[in-house]
Structures are given as C-alpha cells and as structure tokens.
Amino acid sequence: MTPAPAYLSAETRAPGTIRTNRVVLALLGLALFLAGTAAVLVGLGVLGSARALRPVLDRPVETFVGDNRWIWAVVAATAALLALFSLLWLLMQARSNRLSTLPLEQRGSGGHTILNASALSAAVVRDIQDIRGVDRATAHLRGSPPDHELSIHVQLDGRVPARDIHERVVHRVIADARRALAVDSLATRLELDLPKVAQRDIR
Amino acid sequence: MRTTDRILAIMLGLAGFVFGILVICEVVYSQVGNVGHLVIPYEPVASFLREHRWKDVLVIVIGCIVALAGLLLLVAEVRRRRPDLSVLRGRRDDVLTAMSNRSVGRAITAAVDQVPGISSSATAVRRNRISVTARTGLRDPRDLESSVTAAATDAVRDLDLIGAPRLRVRVAHLRGSS
C-alpha cells in the first residue's frame, strides 16, 4: 500500500485529454515563438542585410510555386492532415472517464449482473445529503473496472466540523456502498468543500 | 488553467478543422482551372506580403506579437501547476479525502475570526505554507499574535492534514483605528 500523497490536483473527467491539450498547446506556443523570433531576426538584418530588404513573399518563391504544380498536392495533403488532427483533438475534448455501468462480481455461472452506476451514485448522494452539515453532494463512478473509483464531492454548510462529516461519510455512506456492491474495498476519492460563510442553526 | 486549455483546444481545433477543409477546397477549385478564390480571400494577404519587406516596422511588430504570444503560451503550459487540494489523514486505506486549499483557508479564517480583538482575517494556503493575516483595531495587541497562532494551529490540527504546512501569522493594525 503506497502512502497517500499530501497534495492532489483537482479531479478531471479526462486526464489524458488534459495532458494532450498541454502538450499540443506547448508545441503550438513553441512554433509561434520560433516563427515570430525568426521573422524579427530577418527583419533586423541578423540573418543578412540583403534578406531584410526583400519582400516577405519573394518573387523566387512565387516562381517556384508556379513552376512546380505538385506543391499544391503537398498543400492539400498538409491541410487534410491539419483538418484530421484538429477533428481528433476536438473529439478528444468530449472524452470522459465516468462509468455508466459497473459489472458486479460474478458468483456461479448463472449470467452477468450489471449495476447502473447512477443508481449507486444517487443512493450515495441521498445518504450524504441526509447528514447534518452537508449543503449538497455529487457522486459518480470513474475509471475502468476493476480499477474503478467512487468519486464524491461534498459541499459543507459550515455548521458541523469537517472532521465529523468526514467520519460519517467514510464509516456510514461508503461502508453502505461497499456492502451494496458486496466488496471489502472500494477505492474512493472524497472531496470536502467549506462554504465562504458558515450557515447558522436557527433556534 | 485546465478550463482555459480546454476552451483554447476547442477554439483552435474548430479553427484548424475549418481552415484545413477550406484550404483543400481552394486547392481543388484552383486546380480545375478557376481563377481567384472560392471562400478564403487570400489575394489581399498575398499583396500585403508582396508589398512589405522583412525590415518594415509593421512586419517586425507582427513578428514580435507572434513571438510574445508563443512565449506566453509556452511558459503557461510548461510551468508546473500547483496542486489545489490538501489531503486529509485517511480513515481507511481505500478512501482518499481531500479539501481544496481555499476551504482549508476558510476553516482557518473562521477560527481566527473567533479570537477576541480580531476584526477580520485572511488566509493564503500554498504548498507547505499557510499565511494568516489578522487585523485588529486594538491599540495594544499584546498577546494577540500568540492567540491567533494558537487558533490557527488548532484549526489546522482539526483538519488533520497529511502535509505539515508551516504556519506564518501576522497581526496587522487596522488603518484609521486608534
């Protein structure tokens, strides 16, 4: 058992997409930086004063494009690759690691039992919202079985110490979820949030 | 930053897809013998590039803007992102409980605000460090700093954080009070 980390990043629906966005945007930033720097260096005459005096779209370039018709096939192929990559990148934004169903452990050979994940998460949310000191809660299953994880977010109202709510959620609600799934262990990520202004009991 | 990245990804993905398709259409349109553009009016851009030399101020300014935008994007993406949740000591091995640093700050602020003599307080939670700034209108704060430190320490202990952040407390005098 690895020790728990002291700090975590906020939960995300698609960690792979987050990484891809970061890499692609960093590469795009690098490309823009290099292109902009190159243009400035040419303009300042660092790469030769004769080159700085030439038009940006130079005659030899136009002549080369005019003489070589195959260049248009390359342009079209590059544009097709750009469109394909952009489409894949767009579709990737819709990815989610949330589970809609959860296959339960099979006992015997009498078929398969599948649990609707929303049934479990709705029951968990209902039980948590019954706890005094909870304003609202959300829950969902994520990952892929058997390495799935129950993720719970609880917004407290500030009337009850977070430690007490933590105890109740772990020992009552998550324990019930484990019993419902007939498992000894259920990986769970529980996030608690305190309100800006604590609510008060009206007596 | 993740949300910004996602918005940028959607905008750039859409732009790239539409631009790629339009370029293919333009190439096909011109290769079947048509003159001029189909959708993208590229002629003004081509004339601009023909009429301006690399050393023109406008071209250098555009180059600077592109380089700066690229540098900002690169730095924003490469920079290490701070984790925004502090993990609480677990009740079970299979349950990982965390609280946003903002909530940790709120818990400490609420505790410090209860200290007699404190008018208001603010808490900033960073990795390994919690800074509490409490304000008082008292002319002679005396032991107020130790009371605030004790209240903040108790609040951190109550949260039962795995990390042991250093606590830095500062008691400031309210401006305009005697």
Kindly report, residue by residue over B138-166, the tens digit of the pLDDT: 877 777 888 999 999 999 888 888 887 88
The tokens 């799935």 sit on which residue?
A148
Tell me: pLDDT of A1 over 70.
no
- Same domain flag for B67 and B9: yes
Domain end, chosen from B78, B104, B121, is at: B78
d(CA B118, CA B108): 13
d(CA A99, CA A138): 14
Cβ(A57)–Cβ(A39) below 8 Å: no
> Is B160 within 8 Å of A163 when comparing Cβ atoms?
yes
B175 CB contacts (<8 Å, ≥6 apart)?
none
Considering A23-37, A38-52, A104-118, B38-52, the range whose residues carry the highest mean pLDDT is: A23-37
> Is A36 within 8 Å of B77 when comparing Cβ atoms?
no
Q: What's the pLDDT band for A202 if we cut at 50, 70, 90? A: low
> Is B17 within 8 Å of A35 when comparing Cβ atoms?
no
CATH number at residue B142: 3.30.70.1350
Distances (CA, A) of B127 to A4, B110, B153, B166: 16, 20, 16, 9
Q: Does B178 map to a domain?
A: no
- Same domain flag for B43 and B94: no
d(CA B129, CA B151): 16
d(CA B103, CA A156): 10
Q: Does B58 map to a domain?
A: yes
- Same domain flag for B103 and B67: no
Name the residue in chain A with its Cα closest to that of B28: A76
* Torsion sign, CA atoms B7, B8, B10, B11: positive
Please give the helix or strand (H or E) that residue A194 lies within, else none: none
- pLDDT tens column, B90-143: 778 889 999 999 999 999 999 999 898 888 899 998 878 899 999 988 877 777
- Same domain flag for B89 and B60: no
Cβ(B17)–Cβ(A17) below 8 Å: no
- Same domain flag for B122 and B158: yes
- Same domain flag for B49 and B94: no
- Same domain flag for B55 and B110: no
Distance from CA of A116 to the nearest CA of B (A): 22
- Give B62's contacts in chain A (Cβ within 8 Å): 39
- Same domain flag for B99 and B168: yes
Domain end, chosen from B26, B53, B78, is at: B78
Q: Does B35 touch chain A (CB under 8 A)?
A: no
Interface-testing mutation among A63, A186, A192, with chain B (most B C-beta atoms within 10 A): A192
Show the domain range for B138. Answer: 85-173
pLDDT attached to residue A161: 87
Tell me: pLDDT of A4 over 80.
no
- Same domain flag for B74 and B140: no
pLDDT attached to residue A203: 59
> Is A5 within 8 Å of B162 when comparing Cβ atoms?
yes
Structural domain count of chain B: 2
Tell me: pLDDT of A82 over 90.
yes
